[in-house]
Amino acid sequence: MTFEDIVVTVDAGVATIAINRPENANKLRFVTARELFDAFRMVRETPSIDVAVLTGAGDKFFCIGGEHEELASLDYSSVMPVIDLYEFIDTMPKPVIAAVNGYAVGGGNVLQVVCDLTVAAPHAIFRQVGPMVGSFDAGYGTWYLEETIGRRRAKEMWYLNRKYTAEQALAMGLVNDIADDPVAHAHEIAQTLRQRGPFALSALKTAFSGRHTGVAGQARIAHDLLLTAYRSTQEADEMSQSFEQRREPDRARFHR
Q: What is the per-residue pLDDT for 71?
A: 57
C-beta pairs of 18-22 under 8 Å, 24+ apart in sequence: 18/54, 18/55, 18/56, 18/57, 19/54, 19/55, 19/56, 19/57, 19/62, 19/63, 20/57, 21/57, 22/56, 22/57, 22/58, 22/60, 22/61
Q: What is the per-residue pLDDT for 66?
A: 87
Most distant CA pair in the chain, distance: 69
Collect the ranges in the chain with pLDDT lower than 70: 68-78, 256
Q: What is the per-residue pLDDT for 117?
A: 98
Record the pTM.
0.90
Cβ-based neighbour number of residue 251 at 10 Å:
12
Q: What is the per-residue pLDDT for 72?
A: 60
Q: What is the per-residue pLDDT for 73?
A: 59
Q: What is the per-residue pLDDT for 235?
A: 92
> How are beta strands 6-11 and 14-19 bridged, if at all?
antiparallel
